[in-house]
Amino acid sequence: MTHAISVTINGVTRQAVVEPRQTLVDFLRDQLALTGTHVGCEHGVCGACSVLLDGEPIRSCLMFAVQADGHAITTVEGLREDDGTLGILQDSFWETHALQCGYCTPGMLIAGQDLLARNPDPSDEEIREAIAGNLCRCTGYVQIVDAIRLAGARMRQSPEGSGAENGDD
Amino acid sequence: MTEQSARRFVSAKRRPKEDGRFITGAGHFVADINRPGMLHVALVTSPHPAARITTIDTSEAAALPGVVEILTGNVLAGEANPLANAVDTPGVKCYPLAVGVARYAGEWVAAVIAETRALAEDAAELVEVDYEPLDHVINAEEALEPTSPPVHAGHGSNILYRRTFTWGPVAEDFAGQPHELSFKLRWGRSAPVPVETFGVVAEWDTGTEILDVWASIQMPSYAEQIAGALRIPVNQVRAHYDVDVGGSYGVKRGIKHTVLAGFLARRLGRPIRLIEDRLENMVGGDMHGPDRHFNVAVAFDDDGLIRSMKLRVIEDVGGQTGRAPFQLGKPVSAIVGAYQINSVEYEAIAVSTNKTGQAAVRGFGMSPTNVAIETAVDKVATRLGLSRLEVRRRNFIRADQFPYLIPSGSEYDSGDYHTVFKMARDLAQFDVLLARRDAARREGKIAGIGIATCLEPGGGNSAFEPLLNPKNETTTWPESCVVKVDRTGGITATIATSTSGQGHETLAATIIGEELGIDPNDIRVVHSDTLSGMPGNTPVASRMAIMLGGAAAGAAKKIRDQAILIGAHNLGRTTDQVRYANGVVSAVDDPSQSLSLARIALISHREFHNMPPELTEPGMQAIHVLQVPKGGTLPTADGRVQMYPCYSFAAHIVYAEIDRLTGKVTLPDYCIAHDCGTVINPDIVRGMVIGGAAHGIGAALYEEFSYEPGGQLLSGTFVDYVMPSSHEIPDIKLAEHCTPSPLTSHGQKGVGEGGYLGAPAAVASAINDALSPFNIECLTLPMRASLLSDLLADQLAETES
Amino acid sequence: MKAAAFDYTRADTLDQVLELLSHGGDEARIIAGGQSLVAMMAMRLARPEHLIDINHVDALAGINTASDHVAIKACTRQAAAMASSAIKREVPLLAAALPLVGHIQTRNRGTIGGSLAHGDPTAEVLLAAVALGARLSLASIGGTRTLNIAEFSVGAMETAILDEECLTEIQFPKPPSALSIGVAVDEISPRAGDYAIIGAAAELGLAEDGSCGHIRLASSGASPVPVLCGPTMEALTGSRLGDSEIDDAVQLINPLLSPESDVQASAAYRRRVAPGMLARVIKMARDKAEIKRTEGRTS
């Protein structure tokens, strides 16, 4: 039995029909062709499939698409600024070369984006905690920590203060 | 070679070209490919480590709606050739699907092809296979025994390769030294385990009769092996290199996967997608890494100078062969490490067991061997009561000795080990670290400092192939680059490989930009396919900075030479009277007389009347195929050969503490000083070194494909196979030194493997230093918390009793 | 790794959940956060024919404080519990356990009740529940029953939930308010965020004279389900919690342990580390309580 769902993806509401067993990540990739979100383990360990669900990071391999009905999802494709330029965190990843093969990168960006929204001035330990659920085989994490630290500093300096207004209360 | 001071782009901090697509989710990985009518594959796997397959009943599965085909090994083997073996073992015949006998738990027995992956999995559950279990062997030392169950009955024994090399007067050197020591060491089976599994999409075009293959590969001779197994000409296989590879570190070989997908694509006339899920990847993907038993002996004098070494290695390659035994070959290229060891005996044994097959892993077998060598050096120091730093300094090859010929026949090109070692010592503030360790010990903590060095042979050549298989006479692994200048002056480079995070596009663009004085951001780099491409051997063996870098430089220089010819001709000058700089040819005597590269390109493409007579071909393009520096020779009868051309060096110093209760290891300080010659892109190099070290920390402390005696893999998920997270990897500090290689375009050497070659040895050294006050040692990797705790507890119990 | 096919119903009310469960037999299963269930379904280790989604049942989420306990509705997210000031204040042991549960992505979906219902023997929420003696409400179409955690958690991956029942609420007892309270949870796990190899939890309260007036202890990883460390609690009640007293008292849990070997650790390791880990958390909790006691006296 299939289900009709309505999900807001990166600000755009999409209608679709899904089989219950289709995971959210398979739905994003196979039905919506949003292939930026990656499948790494399909059992909830590697974090490559991380997306924001109503603004909070989750693993999209551990949720069925049918469960996302009525919710809002942000994927890596939605991280650019409204004017199409790179987001501050994306740009910081490039600046520090916080990636190699690029496979874990979308999940890392989602984790970093969430952290900086909650905590604009994280310590390195807080950064490591925020990305501990995302495995990276290439980098050894050091340049990823550098990138998130750099993005935090840039966000705090920018007049927009992107992501920085939601302080940790 | 351009002088360092004059360089604009090489060594400058520049954003890697590739990163832009990955930070926006715009990469093109194999799983992102969706061909019309594409079918999906799921696999039926053996539950037994060894079993005869008596019957396979596919009727119920085949009846499921959406199922298109169920393929078994017998059908496949009737129409395909066995997969290639690296060493000379004609009695070993492996196919993508088990034929008659399953040789490890998880081996593919049948493939189910359906309209969706979920349907294929549904049907795979319904395939009924009857097995007759056979005796199995899991322990490599037992597998050596003539009485052990044969994994490949047709081969006669489980020993796939065995040879003892003797380089230099080993017996005399051992007899002549006042000291010798020996030990055993165990390197447990681990692997890089990329976050992207292996995947392939294959499509047979009935019109052109070409098999198109998109895959997540890093595999030399890929198209050749596919074609060979499928019994079709190589020029009917078009492997596309423009697929982004989600990490490889050696293991993305995928021959059996691709043969299977290619076979099905031809048979069914529809595109086939075979993307391993994580369980298939871990259990049946044939991507496990080295699994070794070492016996090591060294002979040394009162000053700690190591005169000779004996190394015996048993490599447990599992139930498939592939290239795995070759991983015994690469260590020959740096068999003495960074040290002036006069003679070496090396017994290399590859043995089959009923475990998952092996693939190449970063360093191609050298990281385990380096743990053996470095452990020996530590032990020499301990035996003589000398500092581990001092013993290394005494044994290092000195900067004035290069090029330095090692006993196994390779000449190290260049290096300055003493200087780099001192940089590591300074970076780590070694005296402070010592005081910290000793203070921690006084507080009752278990603390140690690890010291290790490693050589990273780079520029990967084929020499280990003829060395381990005399029927293989390969003496080159070339690499190529094509540079084209279009009629508007735009530059496009073509490279003949896929890339898995090493930054090859950045590499080629940076070097071409340097040679042509053009901003690398304006140079496009594209990947060929195997039919449109050039000779190449893919990014194995720390070779691309050297080989692709050299090929790109060579092609760019040819373009520059063409530009100078055309420019001089049109400026009414001889080539001596003009100069090329930053994309402009100008007259030396009157720089206002100049032609831009765009103008020159237009002449070349469209204005043949303006071409100099010596240029008879319109258009501006150049190919450069680089032969491996110092390659091209076969091994001598006693097994000496120039293996790889360039030798990078690194020194790791790490501080470790072991929790007394749990055995948990923390690494509060980790320092690396390294020398990979000229750095092309600093951020890429930094990432390679740190990422490699992180990979090595995983192998040293956490990661293992463990088998229980019944032959079942115990760590087949990401829960049980423990890849380190951001909490397990410290903030690794780096220092760099540059000893340019005299053999390469810009003095560059390899850097993709060194972190991984040094870290396991350094971590093992730290653990053993920490354990030394208790008079115990740990010579088994990975050194899991539970293992260390058990060792400490046993020692305590012994002391009390 | 695709789940076997199943039917799906998003429930809006508890009554609807119970109604569906009453018809579903053992083929119907509740999905809350799904952080363990979906992985097991992907591996086809679980294959329910009907999933009943309780994520939109308002009555199953929320945190309520009563006089002697805090009641957490079963489908309350672990992240919400972690952010709850009531839980920080009133059930500090659970608050100390939650940061060790998985990672932020799993805590944002994973629920308190889901963790307990899944029954992983080294789950931190279960460890805290055992230490505190939590009580659990199970509703079915026939009514509601309440079990204590020892009755609920009957074995590794095994609970007393019947096919027709839904776990609705977990009551975590508050520590006695008259004492200076200290809590600690610690574990050794393969990686930070993984399930524990060995875990331990301690909540204790010091009287004004510094003696131990309240102590709740549990140990996980060396037994099929976490054990309440009764003999140690008894031995330390009224004591001054000196290091050597603690080190002796933790050995009293040995008869409660029945460790097994697995890929991460030997049985001997688990038997050895479990008492030591318990001692570690007792000392950590004691030191925190001692600070509070000292602060209480000076203020």
| Residue C189: inside a domain | yes
CB neighbour burial string for C93-121, b if at least 16 within 10 angstroms, e if fewer: bbbbbbbbbbbbbbbbbbbbbbbbbbbbb
For chains A and B, count residue pairs whose Cβ atoms are closer than 8 Å: 178
pLDDT in tens, C111-160: 999 999 999 999 999 999 999 999 999 999 999 999 999 999 999 999 99
Beta strand segments in B627-774, E: 646-658, 665-675, 733-737
Examine the fold and report which residue of C146, C173, C200 is the final residue of a domain before the chain moves on.
C173
Mean pLDDT of all residues in B386-392: 98
Mean pLDDT of all residues in A56-65: 98
| Statement: residue A12 has pLDDT above 50 | yes
User: Does residue B75 sit in the same domain as residue B204?
Assistant: yes
Closest CB from C3, C43, C191 relative to A21: C3
Long-range pairs of C264-268 with CB within 8 A, sequence gap ≥ 24: C264/B720, C264/B784, C264/B786, C264/C190, C264/C197, C265/B784, C265/B785, C265/B786, C265/C197, C265/C198, C266/B786, C266/B790, C268/B790, C268/B793
User: And the tokens for C217?
Assistant: 């202890």
User: Does residue C68 sit in the same domain as residue C29?
Assistant: no
In the DSSP assignment, the letter for residue B249 is T
Examine the fold and report which residue of C173, C202, C234 is the final residue of a domain before the chain moves on.
C173
A95/B247 Cβ within 8 A: no
CA-to-CA distance for A5 and C68, rounded, in angstroms? 43
| Residue C169: inside a domain | yes
pLDDT band for A165, please (50, 70, 90 cuts).
very low
User: Does residue C221 sit in the same domain as residue C168?
Assistant: no
Q: What is the pLDDT of residue C104?
A: 97
Q: What is the DSSP string of C148-160?
A: EHHHHEEETTEE-
pLDDT in tens, B166-192: 999 999 999 999 999 999 999 999 999
| Statement: residue A163 has pLDDT above 50 | no
Q: In the beta sheet, which residues pair with residue B347?
A: B164, B312
Looking at per-residue confidence, does B799 or B130 come out higher? B130
Please name which of B747, B758, B764, B648 lies closest in space to residue B696, comparing C-alpha atoms.
B758
Q: What is the pLDDT of residue C71?
A: 98
Examine the fold and report which residue of B595, B626, B657 is the final residue of a domain before the chain moves on.
B626
Residues of the domain holding C120: 62-173
pLDDT in tens, B615-637: 999 999 999 999 999 999 999 99
| Residue B670: inside a domain | yes
CA–CA min distance A20, chain C (Å): 6
| Statement: residue B661 has pLDDT above 60 | yes
User: Does residue C82 sit in the same domain as residue C149?
Assistant: yes
Cis before residue B220, ω within 30 degrees of 0?
A: no
Closest CB from A43, A50, A56 relative to C39: A43
**Is the CB of B20 inside 8 Å of chain A's CB atoms?**
yes
Residues of the domain holding B579: 4-27+478-626
Contact status, residue B646 vs residue B467, Cβ threshold 8 Å: no
pLDDT band for B51, please (50, 70, 90 cuts).
very high
Examine the fold and report which residue of C32, C53, C74 is the final residue of a domain before the chain moves on.
C53
User: And the tokens for A60?
Assistant: 């999209």
In the DSSP assignment, the letter for residue B635 is P
What CATH number did the domain enclosing C39 receive? 3.30.43.10
pLDDT in tens, C197-254: 999 999 999 999 999 999 999 999 999 999 999 999 999 999 999 999 999 999 999 9
pLDDT band for A164, please (50, 70, 90 cuts).
very low
Q: What is the pLDDT of residue A27?
A: 98
| Statement: residue B4 has pLDDT above 60 | no
**Is the CB of C157 inside 8 Å of chain B's CB atoms?**
no
Examine the fold and report which residue of B594, B626, B658 is the final residue of a domain before the chain moves on.
B626
**Is the CB of B691 inside 8 Å of chain A's CB atoms?**
yes
Q: What is the pLDDT of residue B5?
A: 62
| Statement: residue C165 has pLDDT above 80 | yes
Question: What domains can you pick out in chain A, each with its CATH number?
Answer: 3-78 (3.10.20.30), 88-157 (1.10.150.120)
| CA distances to B156, B324, C219 from B257, in Å | 27, 17, 46
Contact status, residue B281 vs residue B197, Cβ threshold 8 Å: yes
What CATH number did the domain enclosing C111 receive? 3.30.465.10
CA–CA min distance B720, chain C (Å): 7
Q: What is the pLDDT of residue B323?
A: 87
| Statement: residue B3 has pLDDT above 60 | no
User: Does residue C111 sit in the same domain as residue C186?
Assistant: no
User: Does residue C151 sit in the same domain as residue C204?
Assistant: no
Q: Which residues of B touch A97 (CB under 8 A)?
A: 15-16, 19, 683-684, 686-687
What CATH number did the domain enclosing B208 receive? 3.90.1170.50
Q: Of all helices (H) and strands (E), which one includes residue B771?
A: helix B754-771
A36 exposure class (CB count in 10 Å sphere: 0-12, 13-18, 19+): buried
B723/A135 Cβ within 8 A: yes
| Residue C2: inside a domain | no
User: Does residue B721 sit in the same domain as residue B780?
Assistant: yes
Q: What is the pLDDT of residue A159?
A: 67
User: Does residue B568 sit in the same domain as residue B655?
Assistant: no
Q: What is the pLDDT of residue A167?
A: 35
What CATH number did the domain enclosing B424 receive? 3.30.365.10
User: Does residue C139 sit in the same domain as residue C37?
Assistant: no
- Interface partners of B (3+ CB pairs, < 8 Å)? A, C
C34/A59 Cβ within 8 A: no
CA-to-CA distance for B80 and B250, rounded, in angstroms? 26
Looking at per-residue confidence, does B260 or B461 come out higher? B260
User: Does residue B405 sit in the same domain as residue B536?
Assistant: no
User: Does residue B203 sit in the same domain as residue B69?
Assistant: yes
| Residue B581: inside a domain | yes
B706/C197 Cβ within 8 A: no
Quickly tell me which residue has 């030394």 as its tokens.
B772
Angle between helix axes B504-516 and B544-570 (nearest 10 degrees) is 30
Q: Which residues of A touch C51 (CB under 8 A)?
A: 20, 64
The ipTM (two decimal places) reads: 0.97
Q: What is the pLDDT of residue B1?
A: 46
Quickly tell me which residue has 């600000």 as its tokens.
A11
Examine the fold and report which residue of B275, B300, B324 is the final residue of a domain before the chain moves on.
B275
Residue C206, classed as helix, strand or coil, is strand
CA-to-CA distance for C197 and C189, rounded, in angstroms? 5
Closest CB from B278, B694, B731 relative to A41: B278
CB neighbour burial string for C241-277, b if at least 16 within 10 angstroms, e if fewer: beeeebeebbebbeebbebeeebbbbeebbbbbbbbb
Q: What is the count of structural domains for chain B?
A: 3
**Is the CB of B122 inside 8 Å of chain C's CB atoms?**
yes
User: Does residue B757 sit in the same domain as residue B707?
Assistant: yes
| Residue B147: inside a domain | no
CA-to-CA distance for B277 and B283, rounded, in angstroms? 10
| Residue C120: inside a domain | yes
Q: What is the pLDDT of residue B6?
A: 82
The residue count for chain B: 801
A63/C109 Cβ within 8 A: yes
Q: What is the count of structural domains for chain C?
A: 3
CA–CA min distance A13, chain C (Å): 20
CA-to-CA distance for C215 and C238, rounded, in angstroms? 10
| Statement: residue C278 has pLDDT above 70 | yes
CA-to-CA distance for A156 and A121, rounded, in angstroms? 8
Q: Which residues of C touch B663 (CB under 8 A)?
A: 188, 269
CA-to-CA distance for B181 and B379, rounded, in angstroms? 8
Q: Which residues of A touch B248 (CB under 8 A)?
A: 101
Interface of C with A (CB under 8 A): 1-8, 10, 31, 34-36, 38-39, 41-43, 51, 53, 55, 79, 102-106, 108-109, 191-193
Provide the residue type at A99 as one letter: L
Helical segments of B46-115, H only: 59-62, 73-79
Q: What is the pLDDT of residue A166?
A: 39
Mean pLDDT of all residues in A84-112: 98
Contact status, residue B775 vs residue B795, Cβ threshold 8 Å: yes
| CA distances to A77, B377, B401, B417 from B395, in Å | 54, 9, 13, 10
CA-to-CA distance for C68 and C82, rounded, in angstroms? 20
Q: Residue A65: CA atoms inside 13 Å, Cβ hemisphere, count?
A: 28
Please name which of B468, B474, B437, B416 lies closest in space to residue B737, comparing C-alpha atoms.
B416
| Statement: residue A161 has pLDDT above 60 | no
B547 exposure class (CB count in 10 Å sphere: 0-12, 13-18, 19+): buried
CA-to-CA distance for B18 and B499, rounded, in angstroms? 10
| Residue B450: inside a domain | yes
pLDDT band for B460, please (50, 70, 90 cuts).
confident
**Is the CB of A43 inside 8 Å of chain B's CB atoms?**
yes
Closest CB from A42, A91, A134 relative to B278: A42
User: Does residue C102 sit in the same domain as residue C38?
Assistant: no
Contact status, residue B328 vs residue B315, Cβ threshold 8 Å: yes
Q: Which residues of B touch A140 (CB under 8 A)?
A: 687, 690-695, 729, 732, 755
User: Does residue B696 sit in the same domain as residue B776?
Assistant: yes
pLDDT band for A1, please (50, 70, 90 cuts).
confident
Dihedral sign (CA B612, B618, B624, B625): negative
Q: What secondary structure, in 3-state letters, does chain A show?
A: CCEEEEEEECCEEEEEEECCCCEHHHHHHHHCCCCCCCCCCCCCCCCCCEEEECCEEEECCCCEHHHHCCCEEECHHHCCCCCCCCCHHHHHHHHHCCCCCCCCHHHHHHHHHHHHHHCCCCCHHHHHHHCCCCCCCCCCCHHHHHHHHHHHHHHHHCCCCCCCCCCCC
User: Does residue C67 sit in the same domain as residue C153?
Assistant: yes
CA–CA min distance A99, chain B (Å): 7
| Residue B615: inside a domain | yes
Q: Which residues of C touch A130 (CB under 8 A)?
A: 104
User: Does residue B722 sit in the same domain as residue B618?
Assistant: no
| Statement: residue B76 has pLDDT above 90 | yes
Q: Which residues of B touch A112 (CB under 8 A)?
A: none
Please name which of B167, B225, B612 lies closest in space to residue B407, comparing C-alpha atoms.
B167
User: Does residue B680 sit in the same domain as residue B728?
Assistant: yes
| Residue B286: inside a domain | no
User: Does residue B384 sit in the same domain as residue B483?
Assistant: no
B503/A101 Cβ within 8 A: no
C104/A44 Cβ within 8 A: no
Please name which of A98, A78, A84 lies closest in space to residue A151, comparing C-alpha atoms.
A98
Mean pLDDT of all residues in B130-136: 98
| Statement: residue B797 has pLDDT above 90 | no
| Residue B472: inside a domain | no
Long-range pairs of C43-46 with CB within 8 A, sequence gap ≥ 24: C43/A43, C43/B279, C43/B717, C43/C1, C44/B121, C44/B125, C44/C3, C44/C4
User: Does residue B525 sit in the same domain as residue B602?
Assistant: yes
B719/C269 Cβ within 8 A: no
Please name which of B96, B531, B79, B144 lies closest in space to residue B284, comparing C-alpha atoms.
B96
**Is the CB of B686 inside 8 Å of chain A's CB atoms?**
yes
| Residue B728: inside a domain | yes
**Which residues lie closer than 8 Å to B671 by C-beta, 6 or more apart?**
B424, B427, B428, B652, B653, B654, B732, B733, B734, B735
Q: In the beta sheet, which residues pair with residue B235?
A: none
CA-to-CA distance for B396 and B339, rounded, in angstroms? 4
User: Does residue C20 sit in the same domain as residue C101?
Assistant: no
Mean pLDDT of all residues in C52-72: 98
Q: Residue B674, Cβ neighbours under 10 Å: how many?
A: 29
Mean pLDDT of all residues in A44-52: 98
User: Does residue C169 sit in the same domain as residue C185?
Assistant: no
| Residue C1: inside a domain | no
Report B:283-342 residues touching A (Cβ under 8 A).
Answer: none
Per the prediction, chain B carries an average pLDDT of 97
Q: What is the DSSP string of C85-117?
A: HHHHHH-HHHHHHGGGSS-HHHHTT-BHHHHHH
Q: Residue B492, Cβ neighbours under 10 Å: how many?
A: 15
Provide the residue type at B161 as one letter: Y
User: And the tokens for C295?
Assistant: 């602060």
Q: Which residues of B touch C2 (CB under 8 A)?
A: 117-118, 121
pLDDT in tens, B695-752: 999 999 999 999 999 999 999 999 999 999 999 999 999 999 999 999 999 999 999 9
Q: What is the pLDDT of residue A160?
A: 59
Quickly tell me which residue has 């998109």 as its tokens.
B214
| Mutate which: C272, C277, C281, C283, vs B, most B CBs within 10 A | C272
Residue in C closest to B789 by C-alpha: C269
User: Does residue C110 sit in the same domain as residue C44?
Assistant: no
Q: What is the pLDDT of residue B762?
A: 98
CA-to-CA distance for B47 and B174, rounded, in angstroms? 49
Chain centre to alpha carbon of residue B426 = 30
**Is the CB of A59 inside 8 Å of chain B's CB atoms?**
no
Q: What is the pLDDT of residue C186?
A: 98
What CATH number did the domain enclosing C240 receive? 3.30.390.50
User: Does residue C122 sit in the same domain as residue C169?
Assistant: yes
pLDDT in tens, B78-90: 999 999 999 999 9
- Interface partners of C (3+ CB pairs, < 8 Å)? A, B
CA-to-CA distance for B766 and B530, rounded, in angstroms? 46
C7/A20 Cβ within 8 A: yes
CA-to-CA distance for B306 and B342, rounded, in angstroms? 8
User: Does residue B652 sit in the same domain as residue B544?
Assistant: no
